Amino acid sequence: MAQKIVFFYNNFINIGVHKNINKTESKKIHLLNLYCLIWYFFLTLHVFIDFHNIIGFHEKKLILLNFVFILSLVVSVQALQYYNHYLKARLLFTISLTFFIFFYSNFVDNYKATFLEFFFVFPPCISLIFFNKRKIHLTILVISFCFLFIPNLFFQHYPKYIYNHINTAILYFSIIIMISYFKNLNSKNEKALEERTQELETINNFQSQFFINISHEIRTPLTLINGDIEQLKNYEYKVPQLKKIQQDLHTEVTKITDMVNDVLDLSKMETSNFNLNIKSISGTELIEQLHASFETVFEQKKINFTLHPIDYNYLIDADTIQLNRAISNIIVNASKYTDTDGKVIISLTKKNDAIIISIEDTGIGIATKEINKICDQFYQVKNHINDAGGSGVGLSLTKEIINLHNGKLHINSEVGLGSTFNIILPLKETLPLTSIINHEYIKEVNSSRYLPSLEAKNELFLVIDDNVKMRQYISNILNNYGYTCLHAENGVEALHLIAKNTIHFIVTDYMMPKMNGLDFIKNLKKQKIDIPVLMLTAKNDTKSRLDVFRLGIDDYLTKPFENNEFIIRIENALTNYKNRTQYILQKNISIEETKETDNWISQVESYILECSSNIQFKQADIANHFNMSISTLYRKIKSSRGLSPNELVKEIKLQKAHEILTKDHTIPLKQLALEVGFQHTSYFSKMYENRFGIKPFIKKVTPTSIS
């Protein structure tokens, strides 16, 4: 009984509440419903008492009519709330309440001279709660105040010594003022709490995005390192190749070191443990060296990278390494946010006793409201490029370094037109430019194939990744197995290439600018383009994996990865795709049936996953669960996945084992096999190696000694 009462109460006070209502409005709706509930109760109680005390039929008839009239008003209030006419509901309730207090206290004999007039304190209080306009508050306050005092002057319900106008007015307004005060105080507190909650939520989002992006940034270089180390094994006695691999390893390790150093140095600056190695250096030479070192990067992106001629040798006191680092961060950003055929211009000029290093680009620009925030720690402007990665540390570190040099950083920008970063540093001395500083740099050339190429194949691969070296690395692996590759930096470029070429397989990253991997796959599905896809990414969280698997991709591999596993996954996906296509053609299966099966197959896979630990689980169990024959089950699964039902069961079990191993390397091999429904570890190990190209490696845990 108590549960039913609670259920009724919860449903009653939630009349008119829906998802898009904010907390404040929701509270007002709940409160008005509660008032209506109280009104229902007292209305019923008064009718019962009056019917019991009054004998005359005519009087009972009037009471009943009155009951119906008031009940219809209360129901109307809730009906208006139900249909989202909240303002009308509140006005109707407030006006009705005011009218009934006036009517009953002056014209109904049973309620005259019962001090019912003091209920006129309620309409102004209710107005303060329900309405935000001061005009409404004042109007209801004046009407209620007049209804409280004026009728007694005419009807004289109370003697003057009982109904003292001055004392009553003081009491009346005291109550109104107190309620108004606490209502305003509560509103301020709620607003402050809401702002604080939003602030904490924003900080939490920044932190979450920061660690996600850092993971993405670190995993890509690690993948390249891992790949180069694998190649190193094949060239122990070949010095030229060994030297190239060692250079690549050094480059990628340096990237990781720089990212970690940025975070560490930023924390050191906050605790005053960061020291600069200040000495007199040539600002002119520093800028020309930076321009020379970045020319290759801008050439690869086809961006016009210009250094304005510098007429003098400007000497400054600075830490060469740290200042170089600060300016490099700005140049890297200019490259990152400027599209192909854009411009980036560096200039060095003198103004009074300072030099101005200016980096101007024609990139995407920054909104005015964001300019004061972009140098905050971990802050990143919301745009399609930042969504693909980045730590939000670079500009924060840059600003701190410039401040330590007694300099200033000024930023001017306009969305769509570009940005200008001006670094102002104290000038020590101006000298004539006695010689032109030339700097040689070596352009990177595409590395030759590390492994002997196999026989060329007909399949054309599309490799999509925003990292140039990652695209080259993946292509090298595929080239060695006879596959030809096209490259795209993001999903937009990839769709253009697919429209112009016959692509047989796609390897795509998840986090990319302009169009990420998830949106790219959605576009493929919308355009009904059927190409096998392997998602290769640093994102290894379950949600990301499920999001892309729901779209029907063929496989998902996280960085860093083993080359053998990468190739075996691709060959398995290609084989399954060919089997699926061939089976559909042989059986003359329609597109509509294939689409229905694709929507259904996820239910089958979920069911198999639930039963994956069952050693006796087989295709007959699936057929029985979905009420279909084994032949129909075979037809549906084969047309959707290119696998027989038993092969699909084995595939899902192995995928589950792979995920368990990724999360816990210490799990015993026997336990792992049993968790995915394999009774014999030797058979499980063989199946796992055939599927992923590696054995199910289990780390041994050394027992901790107790001293």
Average the pLDDT over 524-549 and give the result. Answer: 70
Residue 258: the pLDDT is 63
Phi and psi dihedrals of 521, rounded to 5?
A: -65, -40
| pLDDT for 451 | 34
At residue 205 the predicted structure's pLDDT band, cuts being 50, 70 and 90, is low
The answer as to CATH 3.40.50.300 being correct for domain 279-432 is no
The pLDDT of residue 545 is: 58
CA–CA separation, 417 vs 430, rounded Å? Answer: 34
User: Is the confidence at residue 445, as pLDDT, over 60?
Assistant: no
Of residues 201 and 545, more confidence is placed in: 201
Give the three-state DSSP class for 487.
Answer: strand
3-state helix, strand, coil in the chain (%, to 5): 60, 10, 30
Does residue 539 or residue 485 have the better pLDDT?
A: 485
Confidence at residue 570, expressed as pLDDT on a 0 to 100 scale = 87
- 523 vs 276, higher pLDDT: 523
Beta carbons within 8 Å of 673's beta carbon, 6+ residues apart? 657, 679, 680, 681, 684, 685
| Section 342-351 average pLDDT | 90
pLDDT at 200 > cutoff 70: yes
- DSSP labels for 228-265? HHHHHGGGTT-HHHHHHHHHHHHHHHHHHHHHHHHHHH
Residue ranges in 388-516 assigned as alpha helix (H): 394-404, 468-480, 491-500
Residue 285: is its pLDDT beyond 60? yes
Ranges 105-114, 131-140, 470-479: which has the least confidence = 105-114
Closest listed residue to residue 119, CA positions, set 106, 134, 133:
106
Highest mean pLDDT among 290-299, 304-313, 572-581: 304-313
Segment 103-110 shows an average pLDDT of 80
What pLDDT is attached to residue 663?
63
SS3 313: strand
Q: How many CB atoms lie within 10 A of CB 491?
A: 24
Closest CA to 558 of 542, 574, 581, 577: 542
Mean of the per-residue pLDDT values for the chain? 77
Helix (H, G, I), strand (E, B) or coil at 343: strand
Indicate if the pLDDT at residue 358 is higher than 90: yes
Q: Which of 216-220, 224-228, 579-583, 676-680 has the highest mean pLDDT?
A: 676-680
The CATH class of 448-586 is alpha beta
Considering only 64-68, 367-371, 429-433, 563-567, which range has the smallest mean pLDDT? 367-371
The DSSP annotation for 583-623 comes to HHHHTT--HHHHHHHHHHHHHHHHHHHHTTT-TT--HHHHH
Average pLDDT for residues 635-657, to the nearest whole number?
Answer: 81
Q: Taking residues 104-131, what's their average pLDDT?
A: 82
What mean pLDDT comes out for the span 622-628? 85
CA distance 425 to 82: 65
φ/ψ (deg, to 5) at 223: -60, -45
pLDDT tens digits for range 368-392: 777 776 666 555 555 545 444 454 5
Percent of the chain scoring above 90 in pLDDT = 6
Greatest mean pLDDT among 12-21, 32-41, 229-238, 530-539 lies in 32-41
User: Which among 206-220, 523-537, 657-671 has the top mean pLDDT?
Assistant: 523-537
Query: Pick the residue with more confidence: 200 or 316?
Result: 316
What's the predicted TM-score (pTM) here? 0.46
Give domain 591-701's CATH superfamily: Homeodomain-like (1.10.10.60)
What pLDDT digit, counting tens, does each position of 561-614 carry? Answer: 778 888 888 888 888 888 878 877 776 776 666 666 666 777 887 888 888 888
Percentage of the chain lying above the pLDDT 70 cut: 75
Burial of residue 92 (CB within 10 Å: 0-12, 13-18, 19+) is middle
Q: How far apart are CA 563 and CA 16, in angstroms?
A: 59
pLDDT band at 553 (very low <50, low <70, confident <90, very high): low
> Is the pLDDT at 671 greater than 90, yes or no?
no
pLDDT at 440 over 80: no
In this predicted model, which residue has the larger pLDDT, 160 or 675?
675
Which pLDDT value is given to residue 623? 85
In the prediction, which pLDDT does 442 show?
29
SS3 state at 147: helix
pLDDT at res. 639:
76
Residue 519 in this model has a pLDDT that exceeds 80: yes
Kind and range of the H or E element at 345? strand 343-351
The pLDDT, as a whole number, for residue 638 is 79
What is the predicted pLDDT for the residue at 444? 32
| Ramachandran angles phi, psi of 343, nearest 5° | -130, 145
Tell me the C-alpha distance between 218 and 259, whole Å: 8
Q: Which of 224-238, 428-442, 689-703 has the highest mean pLDDT?
A: 224-238
Domain definitions of the chain by residue range? 2-197, 227-269, 279-432, 448-586, 591-701
- Average pLDDT score over residue span 329-357: 87
For tokens 């150093």, the residue is: 261
Q: Which of 153-167, 645-659, 684-698 has the lowest mean pLDDT?
A: 153-167
